[in-house]
Amino acid sequence: MGRTNGKSEVDPQELQSDDELPASDGAEETETTQVNKSKQAAQSAAAESELEKLKAERDTLIERLARLQAEFENARKRAAKEQHDFREYAQADAIKALLPILDSFEHALKAPSSDVSEFRSGAELIYKQLQDALTKLGVRSVPAQGEPFDPHVHQAIEMVETRDVPDHHVVEELQRGYKFKDRLLRPSMVKVAKNSKK
């Protein structure tokens, strides 16, 4: 080994073969690449399989949603038809209850009667039939005459100065009010007493 200018030089022949790097093996690199490729292929296949599963699940859910929407629409149409039919049948029952009264009116108008009292008794009978029919349907009159004024069921048309009836009580009923079950069909039109204190 020679020295030049205080520097040591290494002779390439002096290097031992143990210090040399081994030559790269092309077969080993190919094997690693193949392992990586097969891993990627397996991952890709698993991802595709998962994707296919998700697509199938999505399609199933979309089909189920479409069926449920169709069933809901059919149920809504059925309910609307049943409600319509129910209303028609309810009206038919109400009309049937009024037909005997119409018959009584026709008989009264056909009958030759010159007696006013006979005509009045016939009209009273028809009025009673009508009241009975309405009561069967759930219609009842609102009490008014002599009752305390109630703005929920009475409509005041006029205030009347009087001492014959207590203050804020109904003096006179001008038009009868009616309720259907608990629902007000129309209020009673009334005159209400006003007692001035002097």
Q: Residue 153's pLDDT is what?
A: 96
The CATH class given to the 38-137 domain equals alpha beta
Give the mean pLDDT of 108-120.
Answer: 76
Domain locations in the chain? 38-137, 139-198
- Indicate whether 2 pLDDT > 50: no
Tokens of 56: 């199938």
The rounded mean pLDDT for the chain is: 83
Quick: pLDDT tens for 76-93: 999 999 998 888 888 887
Same fold, 38-137 and 139-198: no
Give the mean pLDDT of 99-115.
Answer: 79
The predicted model scores a pTM of 0.53
Quick: pLDDT tens for 30-75: 777 777 777 788 888 888 889 999 999 999 999 999 999 999 999 9
139-198: which CATH topology?
A: Nucleotide Exchange Factor Grpe; Chain A, domain 2 (2.30.22)
Tokens of 100: 């005997």
- Indicate whether 179 pLDDT > 70: yes
